[in-house]
Amino acid sequence: MGGIGTPRLEVKYQRPTRGACAQSEFLSGTVEVDKQMISFLKRCGRFVSEFKGFGICHSCGRRSCFRFRKNMEKWLTDLSFLWDCSERLKNDLRLRENYFCVRCNSSVRVRMHAKAVLDYLHLASDHELLAKFKNEANFKIYEAAKHQLFKSPTFKHISSYVTSEYYDQASPGDYVDGVRHEDLERLTFPNDSFDVVITSDVLEHVADLKKVVAETLRVLKPSGVHIFTIPVDKDLPHSRERAIRLENGEIQNLREEIIHGDPNRSRGALAFRDFGMDVAEYFQKLGVHLKTISLPNIHGDSHSNVDVYLYQKTC
């Protein structure tokens, strides 16, 4: 941590000599305590104060411990300070985007999302999911993110676990630095391709959600499911659009612009809508029946549940 120009901390101490004259004579010396050591000790102290418990991580499948990162909490507080959504939503976000696994760095939202997928498939762990891929040649998952839910490197070698990211300027189906680019509004996969489609806090950022739902239904096999997370403001009675895309492609803001953090673009991602308590009715109008899976935050001291949603292709 200590770089060029950083002062080194000097601690002076006096050590008593051995022998008959020890009571009156002292040797003085200087010990330099490396700033890196202090930084290390501070990090240890911070880890202890942020430590929240042990458990099995559903994302990496390993025994781990989980920590509530105060710097992440502060970052989210600063980011959402001016948002015109409820304080309850802001607090929910601070809780669900935290409690990080020290092994794979997954947040509790990501882990509970992974658990919801495993539960739906009646699997106990990601190891059983890997076995399912090996034993069932036709079983396929599409995740609209680069291995966000399941962190084991083995998943990267499974061709029937398809992942993608959204890159500005790329064409659907193209690869950017080895990662497939897909636009959820116009997926390049054939009809009836996947048993499960996964999106993680994405649907609030797509301009045409009706088109996205239609596309996920198209690429899902009959009885396939789309399992996803979205932020839902439980103090907002009715979902509302924040922005729309005009026919000429321009974006028109209907409310104050809200930008969420996005690891793929420094300018973040625009939120096109706020989901409220009528989220089931909202999706009903898009032609799907929404189910909510509410999972407790078992890896932290928060009593806030993490909600995961799903709808099924029924024909």
Query: Of the listed pieces 3-11, 56-64, 129-137, 302-310, which binds Zn ion according to CB under 5 A?
Result: 56-64
Q: How many residues form the binding site for Zn ion (CB under 5 A)?
A: 7
> What does the per-residue mask of binding to Zn ion show for 63-82, with x meaning CB under 5 A?
-x------------------
Q: Which is nearer to Zn ion, 101 or 118 (CB)?
A: 101
Angle at 261 between CA 236 and CA 86, to 5 degrees: 20
Q: Which is nearer to Zn ion, 9 or 124 (CB)?
A: 124
Q: Which is nearer to Zn ion, 59 or 216 (CB)?
A: 59
Task: Report d(CA 13, CA 30) in Å as an integer.
Answer: 6
Beta bridge partners of 247: none
Using CB under 5 A as the binding rule, whether residue 107 contacts Zn ion is answered as: no
Residue with tokens 């054939």: 190
Q: Are 58 and 64 in contact (CB under 8 A)?
A: no
Out of 103, 132, 147, 211, which residue is the one contacting Zn ion (CB under 5 A)?
103
141 phi and psi, to 5 degrees?
A: -120, 140
| 76: number of Cβ within 10 Å | 19
Using CB under 5 A as the binding rule, whether residue 147 contacts Zn ion is answered as: no
Outline where 86-232 has alpha helix (H): 87-96, 108-120, 126-135, 209-219
Smallest gap, in angstroms, from Cβ of residue 218 to Zn ion? 33
Query: Of the listed pieces 49-57, 116-124, 204-212, 306-314, which binds Zn ion according to CB under 5 A?
Result: 49-57
Using CB under 5 A as the binding rule, whether residue 60 contacts Zn ion is answered as: yes
Beta bridge partners of 159: none
Per CB under 5 A, residues contacting Zn ion are: 57, 59-60, 64, 101, 103-104
